[in-house]
Structure 1
Amino acid sequence: MIKSMTGYGMGTFENAAVKYTVEIKSLNSKFLELNLRLPKAVSDRELFLRGECSKLIERGKVNISISTEYANQTAKAASIHAELLKSYYHQLQEIALQLGETKSNIFDLALNMPEVISNNDEVDEEEGKVLVEAFHAAVKQFNKFREDEGATLKKDLEYRVELILTYLSEVESVEGSRIPLIRERINQYMEDAVGKENVDMNRFEQELVFYIEKLDITEEKVRLRSHCSYFVDSLRSPDSNGKKLGFISQEMGREINTLGSKANNAQIQQIVVKMKDELEKVKEQLLNVL
């Protein structure tokens, strides 16, 4: 089952003290490009969350934002050490008097001294579990979104490959008259150039066989049909592998190009152009497949 690299998911989880909300958005990218925004209180969980993303999200340009809501905001408010503040303030006043300096900003200076203000931002084990549950809920919804998008992509890709095979059948229907026409045209050129009575028919037949072998597209048709079949089988496999599908589409492109260059027939070349157009649409869609 293929998945899209585009995705969105939101998950929330809470207990009596805190509620966490995790939002995940992603666009296509060759690698995992992770932008993680989380509250300072849970910054120590960043390494764990990045490890989970590499396993569960795999690839894509991913933005994750985490927000918190506390039932008791006062409990998480910053604390001021009053005694320490007073001590700094009085010391600064004495030094200012000794130096004859103005005292207008002494309070601000004291307030910014070390350990005067402390943030109650330590997260206990229970709160950490709430964060992890919210994260996994968001990832679950995110992956469901990717799977739904992938199902739409799968239908479109199957349709495009089926069109390529239809065009290949059209090539085969035209191909039957191609060799006799080439033979007749070359024969006419020889007669016009040197005269029918001067043509060595045995040598002519040998050269004609050699020339026609170079124009034979049987191998290209067989390989293209095989690549198309392998592409569809890979689409329907349990794994989502956009890179593998990209490699197969490149092989399909090689066979289509060779078929067009060897065709030596305007009608077949027109059909080949249609095949190339569909293959380009396949490649564009594969850029968004995980």
Structure 2
Amino acid sequence: MINSMTGFGRGSASHAGATATVEIKSVNKRHHDVSVRMPGNLAEKESAIQSALRDTFERGQFTVYVDVESDIDTTVPYRVDEDATAKYAALLRTLQSAAGIDEPITLDDLLRFDNVLTEDRPDDDALLKESWAAVEAATQNAIQELAKMRAQEGRALREDLENRLEAIEDDLEAVEARAPERVREHQQRLRDRLAEIVEDERIDNDRIETEIAVLADKLDISEECVRLRSHIAMFRESIEDDEPSGRKLKFITQEIHREVNTIGAKANDPSISGCGVRMKEEVEKIREQVRNVE
């Protein structure tokens, strides 16, 4: 069954103190292309998200949006070094006594020492680990949702393609019914015209019949009709294939277009020409739809 390259998936997951939301949008593209927008501290994990998408989807252009919220305190609080503070206070009192200064020791005096307060930073590695665990799970959820939507869109594509193939077959049946009659009509008109123009007994009747046969062969479109039916059957087999068949369908569509063009070029008949025009219109619509098949 065919899948569309157009879709959207959203997934969320939480791990420890981190909650991640991942959104993935995909559109049609000839090859596989992934663009990831995520917090800078997770940049090294971008390749993992790209690999996950390549493992699941054959083709398409994917845009991934990653948002992470964390309950882990990422501020940079300060911690008082009590031992150092006590020693600096004692040192200041000694200095105060030695200098004969009666002014009290203030907090500003102690804060002049650099190591009275020390930064208590969070563990960056632990924070990355917790965040990535949430992002990884959310990514898988988003991929599953995207796959479901692409499959759903694929079913709609398949139905539309089937309808257009049936429309082509309806006109093809009309062409096949009309084609032999049209050849006979052209042959008879040629005979009647020659009978009116040529009365000379020296004219080689066998040669005339040969030329009429050549004309009939030039007007014959039976081979094109047979090949067109074969291409349509092959197209149907491909849309039922379990493997991605977008590239194959594109090639078969080109072959269908080729046969329809030839039938129209050899028509020389208003009825067949009308069928040819309608078939071309359906082929163009099929061509547009196939561009979105994975």
Give me the whole-angstrom Cα distance separating, in 1, the residues matched to 2:211 and 2:262: 22
Answer yes or no: is 1:207 the counterpart of 2:211: yes
**Preserved CA contact (<8 Å) 2:264 2:273:** yes
Distance 1:131 1:32 in 2: 22
Partner of 1:37: 37
Task: State, as a whole percentage, how many aligned pairs show the same letter.
Answer: 35
1:252 is the counterpart of 2:256: yes
Aligned with residue 150 of structure 1, among 149, 154, 157:
154
Confirm or deny: 8 A CA contact 2:176 2:222 kept in the other structure: no
Corresponding residue of 1:47: 47
Note the 1:16-35 alignment, pairs <5 A: 16-35=16-35
- Could you say what the CA RMSD is over the residues aligned between the two structures, in angstroms? 2.3
Q: Output the amino acid matched with 1:7.
A: G
After TM superposition, the score normalised by the length of structure 1 is: 0.81
Residue 38 of structure 1, CA deviation: 0.8
Change (3 A) 1:20 1:198: same
Q: Aligned ranges for residues 171-250 of structure 1 at < 5 Å?
A: 171-195=175-199, 197=201, 199-250=203-254
Instruction: Answer with 1 or 2: which has the greater Rg.
Output: 2
Query: Within 1, Cα distance between the matches of 2:74 and 2:195?
Result: 99
Shift of 1:78: 4.6
Contact 2:16 2:130 in 1 (8 A): no
Deviation at 1:182, TM superposition (A): 0.7
Task: Measure the CA separation in 2 of the matches of 1:81 and 1:58.
Answer: 53
Q: Distance in 1 between matches of 2:262 and 2:120?
A: 74
List gaps (5 residues or longer) in structure 2.
Answer: 82-118
User: Given that residues 76 and 120 in structure 1 are in contact (C-alpha distance below 8 angstroms), is that contact kept between their aligned partners in structure 2?
Assistant: no
CA–CA distance in 1 between the matches of 2:39 and 2:245?
A: 34
**Total equivalences in the alignment:** 256
Letter in 2 for 1:130: A
So what's the TM-score if we normalise by structure 2? 0.80
Partner of residue 101, structure 1: none
| Unmatched segments (≥5 aa) in structure 1 | 84-115
The 3 A distance-change label for structure 1 pair 120 and 41 is farther
One-letter amino acid matched to 2:247? K
Q: 2:231·2:256 contact (CA, 8 Å) conserved in 1?
A: yes
How much has 1:32 moved relative to structure 2? 2.2
Deviates more, 1:243-252 or 1:193-202: 193-202
